[in-house]
Amino acid sequence: MESVLLYIFGVLIIVVGLAVSIGLHELGHLIPAKLFGVKVTQYMIGFGKTLFSRRKGETEYGLKAIPLGGYISMIGMFPPTKPGEKVHASSTGFVQQLSDAHTDTAATDVAGAIEGAIDEPTEPSGKRRAFDSLVQDARDMSAETIGDGEDSRAFYRLPVYKRVIIMLGGPAMNLVLAVLFYGIVLVGFGAPAASVGAISECVMPAGATQQSCPADAEPSPAAAAGFEPGDRVESIDGQSVTSWDQFSAIIRDHPGDQLSVTVLRDGGHETLQLTPKLTSRPESAGSSTMVDVGFAGVTRAGDMQPQPVTAVLPAVGDNIGAVVGIITHLPQRLIDIGQAAFGTEERDPNGPMSVVGVGRLAGEVVSIDTIPVVAKAQTMFGILASLNVALLVFNLIPLTPLDGGHVAAALWEGIKRGWAKIRRKQDPGPVDAAKLMPLTFTVVVILGGMSVLLIYADIVKPITLFG
């Protein structure tokens, strides 16, 4: 029973942490919007039924039933399509844009073809008429919330740089949170120290089950170099080593190279000559893919070593790169996840997962009594750091209705107006991004389908830390 309660507690930590991160993301939009004079009618955390709300001034602040997203509603997210037409309210949350008629159609036109879709009218027919009707219905419903004389406070009337600041405010907040959480993880708790816990006497094939070395077995590189349990690696070839991960990476990247390793032993320094051996090992924990890497034959001790502040930003950068890599190969990864969910293939432990999968991992960590409390806390902060990096990168994708789409639309408008000014042509005016509603709708449908697949896979074939 205790383990079940701890599991639930771990899940709740992630749910609350995610809700707070989303709330601060939306606060990153709210603050500059108000500073720049845009009328903000709503600030909401979550989707669905409103559980609590309170109006302060002209803005309603509230909490909704499903804390998996958020939005702020600003008037005038897109310009009138006709001269003198009244501006309409819209929001920064892509789910809310469809469900509550705060249709966020300030979109990106990042290619010439999209520009043509905006600037060149076509005869409405078939699906186009349906999309036009959807856009007009959303405009009519949101127009009811706009008071007279408020056009000057519309989002689209702001200079381009102010619109970019507002839309980048949310991702910027996630970046700040990621840096904060990584600072707690690395500087506060520390990283595994480059301390040797045990040494393999010989080189054993990956996956070998035998416990003793055969008489004719080759000594492991660490044993041949003279490593002893308790040694703390301080430098390799003059390069300072501050963590076990750094030490392992150097070993893996230098098979066959002789390395001069300085270790701290019994208060004194020893210099050892280590030549990692080329061997096949799993690409990552739990992976069935084998890669050729350097091998030394040492395992780490359990002590932690606080990292310098300078280690935080590189860690955030590495995480950003990993998320970008996942998004870049997302179609193939989703195919692999589908095959795993509906077939016999295994899930990639380094692949994407839904918030359900993240919650399960958190519950698993918290419920295992063999893991020290400090290690559990460090892991939870690490998960929250990774979630904020994911929110940062995901929201910067230059597609409507994500923040990156709004940024791209504003920048494109700035380019068009700047080019017209250079050519001494008439100001083309704001980009009519409302005509990109079909793209917005398509992206929302794709994201919804992706979420359903990931949630299903995380239920029927979840990624686990401990098998």
Instruction: List residues with catalytic annotation.
Output: 26
In angstroms, the CA 445 to CA 443 distance is 5
CA pair distance 372, 380, nearest whole angstrom = 13
Contacts 24+ apart (CB under 8 A), 27-30: 27/173, 28/169, 28/170, 28/171, 28/172, 28/173, 28/174, 29/72, 29/92, 29/166, 29/167, 29/169, 29/170, 30/59, 30/72, 30/169
78 closest CA partner among 138, 28, 123, 121: 138
Contact predicate 228/197, CB 8 Å: no
CA distances from 28 to 78, 181, 464 (A): 20, 17, 34
CB atoms within 10 A of CB 329: 13
Q: Give start and end residues of each alpha helix (H) in 343-402.
A: 355-367, 373-395
Residue for token digits 């040797």?
A: 196
What is the DSSP code string of 39-64?
-EEEEEEEEEEEEEEEEETTEEEEEE
- Binning the chain into helix, strand and coil, the percentages to the nearest 5 are 50, 20, 30
Are the CB atoms for 259 and 277 separated by under 8 Å? no
Cis peptide bond prior to 401, omega within 30° of 0: yes
Q: Which residue has the tokens 């918030």?
A: 355
Task: Report the interhelical angle of 373-395 vs 312-328 (nearest 10°).
Answer: 60
CA pseudo-torsion sign 111, 112, 116, 119: positive
**Contacts with 300 (C-beta within 8 Å, 6 or more apart), sequence order:** 192, 193, 194, 195, 196, 197, 244
Q: Give the span between the Cα atoms of 92 and 71, in whole angstroms.
A: 5
Contact 337/353 with Cβ under 8 angstroms?
A: no
Residue carrying the six token digits 């990153």: 28
CB of 132 closer than 8 Å to CB of 123: no
